[in-house]
Amino acid sequence: MSELTVFKRPEALLPVTMHYCPGCTHGISHRLVAEALDELGLRERTVGVAPVGCSVLAYDYFNCDFHEASHGRAPAVATGIKRARPDLIVFTYQGDGDLASIGMAEIVHAANRGEKITVIFVNNAIYGMTGGQMAPTTMPGQVATTCPLGRDTNLAGFPIRMAELLSALVTPAFIARGSLHSPLEVVKTKALIKRAFQYQREGTCFSLVECLSTCPTNWGITPTDSLKWLEENMLPYYPLGIKKTPEGKEA
Amino acid sequence: MSELTVFKRPEALLPVTMHYCPGCTHGISHRLVAEALDELGLRERTVGVAPVGCSVLAYDYFNCDFHEASHGRAPAVATGIKRARPDLIVFTYQGDGDLASIGMAEIVHAANRGEKITVIFVNNAIYGMTGGQMAPTTMPGQVATTCPLGRDTNLAGFPIRMAELLSALVTPAFIARGSLHSPLEVVKTKALIKRAFQYQREGTCFSLVECLSTCPTNWGITPTDSLKWLEENMLPYYPLGIKKTPEGKEA
Amino acid sequence: MQNEMILAGFGGQGVLLIGKMLAYAGMKEGKEVSWLPSYGPEMRGGTCNCTVVVSDKPVGSPVVKSPNIMIALNRPSLDKFEPSVRPEGILLINSSLIDRKAERKDVDVLYVRANEVAIECGSPKAANMVALGALVGKTGMVGVESVKAAIAKTFEGKEKIIQLNYKALERGVAIGKGEAQ
Amino acid sequence: MQNEMILAGFGGQGVLLIGKMLAYAGMKEGKEVSWLPSYGPEMRGGTCNCTVVVSDKPVGSPVVKSPNIMIALNRPSLDKFEPSVRPEGILLINSSLIDRKAERKDVDVLYVRANEVAIECGSPKAANMVALGALVGKTGMVGVESVKAAIAKTFEGKEKIIQLNYKALERGVAIGKGEAQ
Amino acid sequence: MAKLLMKGAEAIGEAAIAADCRLFFGYPITPQNEIPEYMSLRLPQVGGTFVQAESEVAASNMLYGAGGSGARVFTSSSSPGISLMMEALSYLAGAEVPVVIVNIMRAGPGLGGILPAQADYFQATKGGGHGDYRCIVLAPWSVQDAADLIMDAFDLADFYRNPVLMIGDALIAQMMEPVEIREGRKPCKPLAPKDWATTGNKGRKPNIINSLILDPEDLERHNRRLKAKFDSMERDEVRWASYNTDGDYDILIAAYGTPARVCLTAVNELKEKGVNVGLFRPITLWPFPYAPLREKAKKAKAVLTVELSTGQMVEDVRTAVCEDLPVHFYGRQGGILVTPDEVVEQVTALLGGARPKGARKGGKA
Amino acid sequence: MAKLLMKGAEAIGEAAIAADCRLFFGYPITPQNEIPEYMSLRLPQVGGTFVQAESEVAASNMLYGAGGSGARVFTSSSSPGISLMMEALSYLAGAEVPVVIVNIMRAGPGLGGILPAQADYFQATKGGGHGDYRCIVLAPWSVQDAADLIMDAFDLADFYRNPVLMIGDALIAQMMEPVEIREGRKPCKPLAPKDWATTGNKGRKPNIINSLILDPEDLERHNRRLKAKFDSMERDEVRWASYNTDGDYDILIAAYGTPARVCLTAVNELKEKGVNVGLFRPITLWPFPYAPLREKAKKAKAVLTVELSTGQMVEDVRTAVCEDLPVHFYGRQGGILVTPDEVVEQVTALLGGARPKGARKGGKA
Amino acid sequence: MSKITIDPNKCKGCELCVKACPEQILAMGKQLNVKGYFYAQVAEQPRCIGCRICCIVCPDVAIEMAVQGTMYKYFDY
Amino acid sequence: MSKITIDPNKCKGCELCVKACPEQILAMGKQLNVKGYFYAQVAEQPRCIGCRICCIVCPDVAIEMAVQGTMYKYFDY
Ligand SMILES: Cc1ncc(C[n+]2csc(CCOP(=O)(O)OP(=O)(O)O)c2C)c(N)n1
Ligand SMILES: Cc1ncc(C[n+]2csc(CCOP(=O)(O)OP(=O)(O)O)c2C)c(N)n1
Ligand code: SF4
Ligand code: SF4
Ligand code: SF4
Ligand code: SF4
Ligand code: SF4
Ligand code: SF4
Ligand SMILES: [Mg+2]
Ligand SMILES: [Mg+2]
């Protein structure tokens, strides 16, 4: 009987070692995007937009054209590409500091204009790359280097639920939140990402998938404990699921 | 019998002629803010923050300290003032281009941090000062100088409902929408503005009142027709009322 | 010969338009021209003006501080610009709306009942055309035909309006030449 | 006399800390000192190093390309920095973790079983202190008491840890002086 | 093509379209609103796309994306808006993405006013963004010039893979003049296909638009390569014009943009009175025409720099002529334009040996 | 107070607190994260407030508000983040609001790298924002210097009602050195009460912080008043130091920040070999010490400018010495620091008359 | 009895008060004010019911109201 | 029959696969790879049920799976 490889590195991901810390789930979301591009046959007409954040080097990992954006402006850069070349598939890959802090105006307006792009939003409740500062998504009480006594909601407010916030816009969109903390959720998140790209392929609408992710290094715990921490702390606050579809209801 | 003046220019409004076009309801919202400051006895410890927009000269009209912000950044400027001097009453007065376009990140984050400031948001569905360009709040089909054939929601998306968008944040706040198109709504809007300042006085939360307003000049119709246009076109899309209270429900 | 003109009036009186027509007519005749509107955050509702230069040589400054020709379609414009007109210059006053005489004695003043004449021509809005005609009639700075070409181009396809404007222009020209008021 | 040192190892081995202690001890003795960490977006998980200068004169460059002293607590550090040590310089190798000998013949090599010695002292984490002690013992660059002061300040209030570190340090000093391994 | 009477703003837009630009991203700001307004009307008519960005920060990053994907694209703004593009400008230069940015300068600093000024000279020529980069800066003095230069701007941007700026005082956009949009012109530089653009990697390795280079040796190499490119611009792209400099003159006026026209009027007036004054007009503000200016200044006894600022280009003028002769400065600010009379007065006073009223030795201490 | 061993970043924070600053608004960026991190810990301990802004744009506008209400306030960032502050910087200068901004420079342009550089010299000294404005720019070369200068920075800002910049290469923030935070020191300038601040208009007319002036005559007056203020800074605030310039020397080195220390090491090494070389270190990059540098250069046959850029300060050096003598440039880029050996090599080559390897005549064509 | 005063030089002639007055007792005048606007005037003061609606809608705060005796409060303003 | 292959040089030793395998047949090795990490290994290949959970959770895409014959699809991935 012949051997059949049923799981392997997707073609859209180059065969290189990524620089992410051990157990960092950035690697999983990279793979999910790559698999989606492969399975939908989009790789050769895709342009990715890399953020400033731990995934800044995404262009070294994906086997497709890439554009490095300035911090937070990936949705604007993607808008530029997509408007210039509507035939291309354009996605941004952004962290929570990038998208929810400095890039708030750009993501809200790209979503509101209904740019036909796909946004992969990796929410790990911290600034990973710069060494663990508070993000807009940092949990109440969570310690970070710029809130050494834990996030004080009186001074810094509550974490922002980006998927819900963007769903409050009127312009049709596909917006969903998945998580990378368990095999089942990874599988579900992949389906969301694939669906997001499908909407783009059809030219239907803006699409965004928020992926709850871990940062073992800056959370200061092991990769395994990070998955648990995500589940126990982030999941209750960031409910998973589809928040908005262009059809107006979950179809 | 002695004569009693029952309606007059509030003390917090200087006795000068404002530069607004005839029938522009910016003047009404100015008066409402001034009345609220007078009635709550806050004028002498208030700092207003003027936007860039038709109300850029607000500092010439209010009888209190004022700080002119750069375009869209009034909430950041107000944050600076309030954090430096929590004893002061700080409010911003912003147009829809200022607050909902270039200043999107600043308003979302000031609201999300729960800055104890009050935001008066004057939504006239257009860029007044610069001569009638499309705003994020411009109605579908509405003609503006940068959408000469009318706002095309396929290219520019739908108008942003700022009050609803900001209400989607978790941090407690008082957020409401009033309108200036009829005597009754002016009266109700005044109550909202007063309540907003009361929350600030108590140090309770961030507060924002969106005021639907007219721009006869750039809409190209008379002041009276403008009120009607607002009522017929904006009101159905921008529902009035209290969207969020710090108590968690309308009290 | 270089004509440096300021044309001023209320917002709706069409001074920007006749300024453009003058420049266009000049350009048609191979002259060097420039047109510059006043602009400002407070222009709405208030007065409005433009500067037009029509010249044989390349235009230096498109901004003019001392025009040799000034058209005042309303009182505030006259008040504002009368002092700046160069001695020996021309001052055209819309006497339909302006209730005073010129104060300057060293300029050539032409009073034109622009609004009344426009009404007589059947187009109350064409007071600006009457004034333009008067200026052209008086100075011969550009040919009447060139101005007509400008009118025809501006209102392309609207034959009736073109004819009305021609009429107002011609009445103005006659006034400018001193033939009739 | 100016000592320019590079101290390198894995992330968790505490090289930044002993670097700071050296600098602190030098400062205590009135010397001019500087300490500079390597920093980079990829420092996590990988190797980590710092540069310390202890000198009689003001410190010029806090960046050192050719140190006269190098401490390698792990193999990658040795591989990376060995070639840069100045001839006649000192190379301190943590032989507990490094399975090769120095390649340089023109430098003074000191092998220290830092991890084993630390375990013997009852604090497996104090391999860095052993190495620090060995360096101080060998060079006398700063006094042992000054280093102890640095330890006391760093772990202020944690008497037990201080004592353990003293012990590891002293064992290192002895090794550095060639008294014992 | 026949001459048209056009506003500078519209001529810039129409010329960009004639230069095959089909994309505009911008945000309104006085006194250049007529540019985005014109583009919003015209681009859809020619199959192009206009997007009103949410801010200048976003607009400049949209440019970055569109330029990176190989499109010809431009934006325009005015002083405060341009300041918001400084980060993106540095990225554009660092990642070598060709785009064109127009600054219709208004009076500053801060919100300032909306009338014409030239006080963003430093920002444009010395690098308002961070890091070692340079942009060619073109300075038109008429509507025709603006139309011509923006067409060249696209070619220069593409040739060098670098952002190109065109800066004009507000009059350039607001005034109407006869203009001819040169259709079917040849590019001013030989242009290669944009095989570096992000267009999908079918049949080739991925293209990456990027300015992050973590290895310091690599980044240094990149910096030096960029520097060599900027050096070549300094060598090959200097543009300038001079007037009335064939004969003898005691004074050489240096000015750019609309003030240069005012100065030319003054030069002509003086000539009629028998006074010969030369006029030197830099067309590229960077690379600045140091050598030609020095050459032209040789005949003069003094240079008078005229600007709508408190003295910015005058520093480059001083650098150019070094200590060969004194450099005087006359400027108006706040949105006020210099007049021919003022320039005549300045020159006359200088010729009389007196330090003219209102003038000062600008620049360095 | 005894000397402490502190990271530059922490010393800057602690010195700011000692200078009565109780407010910090900032956004993380490498290599200066230790400044906001330190402030987030320390400020609440001394009754102050730390706010992590959503961006550098917001941070700089928070500064604008806080400074306008009379508070001492500062922010810090690194190159790309500083570019995002250019609009606010122009507003701060235009509205005359005193604040302090620290730029811990990293390699650029664009995202560049995170290692030390000095390529934001132009941006800081020539005005990265729009309009006619200037900021005093202080350049420390050690941790102690950084602590001392930031204290002065607050005084200078308050005295002139103008933003003050302190720019350091990344080493300034990252290294530890002994430092003494001078508690209870006297301000370096006499300070008046801030009766212009927005603090509520009880018993007085409203105070207005503003840079919009619509009347051109008024705005021109404002511009000229600002210019006069900048002129007075040029007169009174020039700071510099020189080393080994008492005797004779053929070469004068010009450098600032950490490279100046490297150069000093080289100067000392050369001295040991019997070669005398002078070192000139600008401490204020604006106002630039043109006259003192020229004076010091008189003894030399050539000037060597050393920078972590492709050549920025060298333009001011050239302006200073004009054509008195040749100005050479040696720079490293990409995050690489010059070494004493390299400087020695450059000097030796120059003395030998040869054009040193890697050096070039920087600056203008 | 309530008395309405319209400041002719503050009025910009927008007519909002005229259209809003429930008693229709305000009217546009035929004279220009200093700014060049035709301004609103009270045509029939005695019929004024003191509702203050004109004051409330005037964007230029050009209208004042005084009462003699007590006033019925239509709404809490 | 499914076969798991773990690339020792891609593995960063995060242990996520080890913890996730429902059959508990993966284990951390005792050797360092080129990057200095202890890497995961398949301890009991024959017990593998081919669920691909290890592949799915590996952040470094270090695991591949091959089958002989048909495979039961636990979920559509
Ligand atoms: C303008 C600007 N500001 C700040 C930075 C520094 N910076 C780099 S990454 C980052 C945040 C990264 O956090 P996040 O987006 O959550 O991504 P993560 O690393 O967590 O994946 C910041 C602030 C920058 N490069 N540019
Ligand atoms: C950075 C910057 N960008 C653009 C402008 C130009 N600008 C001035 S006001 C304005 C918009 C005004 O619209 P809005 O906020 O809706 O206020 P309105 O005039 O309608 O009351 C714009 C774009 C500016 N001054 N600064
Ligand atoms: S720092 Fe955090 S987010 Fe960044 S690679 Fe490491 S674990 Fe992942
Ligand atoms: S332009 Fe519009 S918003 Fe501005 S004052 Fe006039 S009517 Fe009001
Ligand atoms: S108070 Fe009421 S009734 Fe009287 S004039 Fe005003 S609107 Fe009319
Ligand atoms: S509402 Fe006010 S401004 Fe308008 S017409 Fe009446 S009085 Fe005049
Ligand atoms: S496929 Fe399933 S059973 Fe087999 S090793 Fe992986 S996780 Fe374990
Ligand atoms: S999940 Fe991947 S990286 Fe982690 S231990 Fe397993 S094989 Fe190694
Ligand atoms: Mg993150
Ligand atoms: Mg508006």
Residues whose CB is less than 8 angstroms from the CB of residue E138 and which lie 6 or more positions away in sequence, other chains included: E149, E150, E152, E153, E164, E165, E166, E167, E239, E283, E284, E285
Provide the pLDDT confidence category of residue H69 given band limits of 50, 70 and 90: confident
pLDDT of residue E364: 37
Q: What is the mean pLDDT of chain F?
A: 95
Instruction: Give A122's strand partners.
Output: A95, A211
Instruction: Give A184's strand partners.
Output: none
Tally B–E CB contacts below 8 A: 50
Amino acid of residue A163: A
Residue E141 scores a pLDDT above 60: yes
F163: alpha, beta or left, given left = phi > 0 and alpha = psi -120 to 50?
A: beta
- Report the 10 Å Cβ neighbour count for C14: 22
CB-based contact, A26 to chain H, within 8 Å: yes
pLDDT of residue A2: 73
CB pairs under 8 A, 24+ apart, for F311-315? F311/E227, F311/F360, F311/F362, F311/F363, F312/E132, F312/F118, F312/F119, F312/F121, F312/F122, F313/F118, F313/F121, F313/F254, F313/F256, F313/F282, F313/F285, F314/F254, F314/F362, F314/F363, F315/E319, F315/F362, F315/F363, F315/F364
Instruction: Say if CB H57 and CB H67 are below 8 A apart.
Output: no
Instruction: Say if CB F111 and CB E93 are below 8 A apart.
Output: no
Q: Whose CA is nearest to atom 4 of ligand 5?
A: G48
pLDDT of residue C40: 65
Compute the average pLDDT of residues F198-208.
97
Nearest to A3 among H9, H53, H68 (CB): H68
CA distance E360 to C162: 55
Q: Scanning every residue of chain C, which has its alpha carbon at the shortest distance from the alpha carbon of F216?
A: C40
Phi and psi at residue E295, to the nearest 5°: -60, -50
pLDDT of residue F355: 54
Q: How many CA atoms lie within 13 A of E11 on its CB side?
A: 28
Q: What is the least distance, in Å, from the CA of D149 to any CA of chain F?
A: 13
Instruction: Say if CB A65 and CB E200 are below 8 A apart.
Output: yes
Instruction: Say if CB B77 and CB B98 are below 8 A apart.
Output: no
Nearest to E54 among B101, B148, B149 (CB): B101
Instruction: Say if CB C173 and CB C134 are below 8 A apart.
Output: yes
Q: Whose CA is nearest to atom 5 of ligand 5?
A: G48
CA distance C175 to D16: 94
Continuous segment of H or E residues that includes residue F13: helix F8-18
CA distance D24 to E201: 55
Q: How far is CA F356 from the centre of its chain?
A: 29
Residue E363 scores a pLDDT above 50: no
Domain ranges, ordered by start, for chain A: 26-244
DSSP D8: E
Provide the pLDDT confidence category of residue F113 given band limits of 50, 70 and 90: very high
Residue B64 scores a pLDDT above 50: yes
Q: Is the omega angle on the peptide bond into residue F31 within 30 degrees of 0, that is, cis?
A: yes
pLDDT tens digit sequence for E157-167 = 999 999 999 99
If we measure between CA atoms, which residue out of A141, A96, A136 comes closest to residue A119? A96
If we measure between CA atoms, which residue out of A48, A60, A47 comes closest to residue A20? A60
Beta-carbon separation of F111 and A155 below 8 A:
no
pLDDT of residue E358: 55
Residue C41 scores a pLDDT above 70: no
Unique residue bearing structure tokens 């300041």 = E83
DSSP B85: -
Radius of gyration from C-alpha coordinates of chain E: 21
Domain ranges, ordered by start, for chain F: 4-236, 241-361
Q: Scanning every residue of chain H, which has its alpha carbon at the shortest distance from the alpha carbon of D75?
A: H36
Q: What is the least distance, in Å, from the CA of D107 to any CA of chain F?
A: 21
DSSP B59: G
Q: What is the mean pLDDT of chain C?
A: 93
Please report the domains of chain D, with CATH numbers, ordered by start residue: 2-176 (3.40.920.10)
Residue D87 scores a pLDDT above 70: yes
Compute the average pLDDT of residues F208-218.
97
pLDDT of residue C179: 85
- E294: CA distance to ligand 3 center in Å? 57
Q: Which CATH number is associated with domain H2-70?
A: 3.30.70.3270
Which spans in C32-74 are helix H? Answer: none
Q: Which CATH number is associated with domain B26-244?
A: 3.40.50.970
pLDDT of residue F364: 37
pLDDT tens digit sequence for E285-301 = 999 999 999 999 999 99
CA distance F13 to F22: 10
pLDDT of residue A251: 46
Token digits of residue C3:
């004509």
What crossing angle do the helices spanning A26-39 and A183-201 adopt, rounded to 10°?
40
Token digits of residue A69:
């954006």
Beta-carbon separation of E261 and C33 below 8 A:
no
Chunked in runs of 10, what are the mean pLDDT values of chain A (251 residues)? 86 96 97 98 98 98 98 98 98 98 98 98 97 98 98 98 98 98 98 98 98 97 98 98 89 46
Q: What is the least distance, in Å, from the CA of C143 to any CA of chain G?
A: 36
> Which chain F residues touch A102 with a CB distance below 8 Å?
27, 54-56
Residue E360 scores a pLDDT above 90: no
pLDDT of residue E184: 85
Q: Whose CA is nearest to atom 1 of ligand 6?
A: G58
Q: What is the least distance, in Å, from the CA of C2 to any CA of chain G?
A: 35
Fold annotation for E241-361:
Rossmann fold (3.40.50)
Compute the average pLDDT of residues E11-19.
98
CA distance F170 to F118: 9
CA distance E251 to F112: 46
Which DSSP string do the residues of A53-84 spell out, in sequence order?
Answer: SGGGGGGGTBSSEEEEPPTT-HHHHHHHHHHH
pLDDT of residue A207: 98
Beta-carbon separation of F33 and A71 below 8 A:
no
Least confident of A216-220, B70-74, E330-334, E361-365: E361-365
> Which chain C residues touch F214 with a CB distance below 8 Å?
40-42
Token digits of residue D70:
């190098």
pLDDT of residue F295: 97
Continuous segment of H or E residues that includes residue E158: helix E143-160
Token digits of residue B191:
């109550």
pLDDT tens digit sequence for E208-237 = 999 999 999 999 999 999 999 999 999 999
Amino acid of residue E263: C
Instruction: Say if CB F72 and CB F19 are below 8 A apart.
Output: yes
Residues whose CB is less than 8 angstroms from the CB of residue B118 and which lie 6 or more positions away in sequence, other chains included: B89, B90, B91, B92, B193, B196, B197, B199, B200, B207, B208, B209
The sign of the torsion formed by the CA atoms of F241, E122, A73, B97 equals positive
- At residue D68, the 3 state secondary structure works out as coil
Better pLDDT: A5 or B239: B239
Instruction: Give B92's strand partners.
Output: B49, B119
What crossing angle do the helices spanning A104-113 and E56-68 adopt, rounded to 10°?
70
pLDDT of residue C1: 78
Residue E361 scores a pLDDT above 80: no
pLDDT of residue H34: 79
If we measure between CA atoms, which residue out of F299, C59, F128 comes closest to residue E143? C59
Decide whether any atom of ligand 6 lies within 6 Å of the G7 Cβ: no
pLDDT of residue A250: 57
List subunits contacting chain D, requiring 3 or more Cβ pairs under 8 Å: A, E, F, H
Radius of gyration from C-alpha coordinates of chain H: 12
Residue E304 scores a pLDDT above 90: yes
Q: Which residues of F83-111 are buried (b: 16+ CB within 10 A; e: fewer)?
A: bbbbbbbbbbbbbbbbbbbbbbbbbbbbb
CA distance G71 to G49: 9
pLDDT of residue D181: 64
SS3 percent helix, strand, coil of chain B, rounded to 5, is 40, 20, 40
pLDDT tens digit sequence for C56-114 = 999 988 999 899 999 999 998 999 999 999 999 999 999 999 999 999 999 999 999 99
- A244: CA distance to ligand 9 center in Å? 23
Residue C47 scores a pLDDT above 80: no
Which spans in B53-116 are helix H? Answer: 74-84, 96, 104-113
Radius of gyration from C-alpha coordinates of chain A: 17
Which DSSP string do the residues of chain H spell out, in sequence order?
Answer: -EEEEE-TTT-----HHHHH-TT--EEEEEEE-TTS-EEEEES-GGG-----HHHHH-TT--EEEEEES----SS--
Compute the average pLDDT of residues B134-144.
98
> Which chain A residues touch E63 with a CB distance below 8 Å?
80
Unique residue bearing structure tokens 């007509």 = C148
Nearest to A63 among E54, E71, E206 (CB): E206
pLDDT of residue D39: 78
Token digits of residue H30:
């005792």
Q: Whose CA is nearest to atom 9 of ligand 1?
A: A53
Residue C181 scores a pLDDT above 70: no
Q: What is the least distance, in Å, from the CA of A57 to any CA of chain F?
A: 12
Compute the average pLDDT of residues G25-50.
92
Which spans in F161-209 are helix H? Answer: 170-174
The CATH superfamily assigned to E4-236 is Thiamin diphosphate (ThDP)-binding fold, Pyr/PP domains (3.40.50.970)
What crossing angle do the helices spanning C127-139 and C15-28 adopt, rounded to 10°?
40
pLDDT > 90: what percent of chain C? Answer: 83
Instruction: Say if CB E230 and CB E284 are below 8 A apart.
Output: no
Compute the average pLDDT of residues C8-22.
92
Residue G27 scores a pLDDT above 50: yes
CB within 8 Å of chain G, chain B residues 163-202: 182-184, 186-187, 190-191
Beta-carbon separation of B104 and A102 below 8 A:
no
Residue D41 scores a pLDDT above 70: no
Q: In the structure, do chain E and chain A come into contact, i.e. share 3 or more CB pairs under 8 Å?
A: yes
CA distance B176 to B212: 11
pLDDT tens digit sequence for E39-87 = 999 999 999 999 999 999 999 999 999 999 999 999 999 999 999 999 9
